[in-house]
């Protein structure tokens, strides 16, 4: 039996052992190299994937405004713009405007709609405060009976109550009754009422209504609106003046001053006198109609003038949505006040006993 020599086997084993570390190192190096290569490939792939997106964004930025791609390319800017707009909106809601800051207390912020209920409450409060300001409010035409008031009201069209009051003493001295006036010579009547203006048309109305009173109502002024408006020259305004002040029948008198103020007060937007009357009648109880008319007209003649209201001297300014249309400086506004509030005579030659001002002077002799 042959045996393998021991020396060659030992030599081969020693060579194998010596080569093993080298093979392990080489294998390790190969694995590491593969990992690096894989990582580089992944990085390159990601870079390639991102490149088109960046290119698209750059190209999109050059496109004109309004295209959808622009919105996608600038999400960050759009988000920032939204945040800025939101901050501005919040600031507007929080901070009061200069106009609202300057407005008197109690006035609703500009732009905020007022409900019907809130308007009615405000209107009634204004009426109460006007009653405190003008406890002596009254019709500013001199009269002693319904016929005199009817004639004076017809004459007051297109002129002042003062001029009417200065004219009627001479008129009623000549024709104190409907019968007397119906029998007047038209030319003579024209001369008597000439200072009030439009004397020819007014003469025709006065003779016509006096004749109707004599022939249809027994020489008496009727106490019903339906009858009064059938008289020549008599409309709803004149009829309500007579009913409210000569017969105690509540009525709303919509003259120039009343219409102007109730629109400024925000009680109505109507221009037609009958529509104004109907809307105001829905706001206030019937018992207030006559005195409400006097208070509003008093305020319009003394404070809330047509062209330049004296807002700075107005006692109801905190409740008025039109505050600021006129002079707001208190000292300058005081100079705009008229009649007793301005230290000057009133319109009546024979005012009520509680009137705090001076009576009007009679017409100067020609």
Q: Which of the following is catalytic: 142, 255, 332, 334?
A: 255
CA distance 59 to 61: 5
CA distance 305 to 137: 17
255 is catalytic: yes
Q: Which tokens in the block code for residue 42?
A: 């992944």
Cα 134 to its chain centre, rounded Å, is 25
Q: Which tokens in the block code for residue 351?
A: 């005012």
Residue with tokens 């100067």: 364
Q: How far apart, in Å, are the Cα atoms of 121 and each of 124, 125, 281, 319, 343? A: 5, 6, 14, 11, 33
Which one, of 301, 325, 295, lies nearest residue 312 by Cα? 325
Q: Which of the following is catalytic: 237, 275, 334, 338?
A: 237
Q: Which tokens in the block code for residue 156?
A: 């007051």
User: Can you spell out the DSSP letters for 82-94?
Assistant: HHHHHHHHHHHHH
User: Can you spell out the DSSP letters for 268-311?
Assistant: ----SHHHHHHHHHHHS-GGGHHHHHHHHHHHHHHTS-SSS--G
User: Can you spell out the DSSP letters for 205-264?
Assistant: HHHHHHHHHHHHSTTS--S-HHHHTTSTT--HHHHHHHHHHHS--------HHHHHHHHH
> 29-32: which pairs have CB atoms within 8 A and are 24 or more residues apart?
none
Decide: residue 235, CB within 10 A, 0-12 exposed, 13-18 middle, 19+ buried: middle
Q: How far apart, in Å, are the Cα atoms of 215 and each of 13, 33, 218, 225, 231? A: 158, 130, 6, 18, 12
Cite the active site residues. Answer: 237, 255
């Amino acid at each position: 039996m042959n045996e393998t020599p021991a020396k060659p086997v030992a030599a081969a084993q020693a060579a194998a052992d010596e080569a093993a570390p080298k093979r392990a190192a080489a294998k390790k190096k190969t694995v590491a190299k593969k990992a690096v290569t894989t990582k580089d490939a992944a990085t390159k792939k990601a870079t390639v994937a991102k490149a088109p997106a960046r290119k698209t964004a750059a190209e999109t930025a050059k496109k004109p405004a309004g295209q959808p791609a622009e919105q996608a390319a600038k999400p960050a800017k759009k988000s920032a713009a939204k945040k800025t707009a939101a901050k501005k909106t919040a600031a507007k809601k929080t901070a009061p405007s200069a106009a609202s800051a300057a407005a008197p207390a109690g006035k609703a912020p500009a732009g905020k709609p007022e409900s019907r209920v809130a308007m009615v409450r405000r209107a009634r409060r204004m009426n109460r405060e006007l009653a405190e300001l003008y406890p002596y409010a009254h019709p500013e035409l001199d009269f002693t009976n319904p016929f005199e008031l009817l004639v004076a009201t017809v004459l007051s069209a297109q002129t002042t109550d003062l001029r009417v009051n200065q004219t009627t003493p001479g008129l009623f001295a000549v024709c104190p009754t409907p019968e007397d006036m119906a029998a007047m010579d038209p030319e003579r009547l024209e001369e008597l009422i000439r200072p009030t203006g439009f004397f020819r048309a007014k003469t025709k109305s006065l003779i016509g209504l006096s004749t109707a009173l004599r022939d249809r109502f027994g020489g008496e002024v009727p106490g019903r609106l339906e009858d009064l408006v059938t008289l020549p020259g008599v409309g709803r305004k004149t009829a309500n003046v007579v009913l409210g002040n000569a017969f105690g029948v509540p009525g709303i008198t919509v003259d120039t001053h009343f219409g102007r103020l109730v629109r400024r007060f925000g009680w109505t937007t109507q221009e037609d006198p009958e529509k104004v009357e109907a809307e105001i009648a829905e706001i206030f109880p019937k018992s207030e109609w006559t005195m409400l008319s006097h208070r509003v007209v008093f305020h319009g003649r003394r404070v809330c003038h047509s062209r330049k209201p004296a807002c700075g001297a107005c006692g109801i300014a905190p409740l008025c949505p039109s505050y600021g249309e006129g002079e707001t400086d208190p000292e300058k506004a005081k100079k705009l006040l008229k009649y007793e509030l301005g230290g000057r005579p009133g319109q009546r030659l024979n005012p009520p006993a509680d009137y705090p001002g001076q009576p009007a002077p009679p017409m100067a002799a020609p």
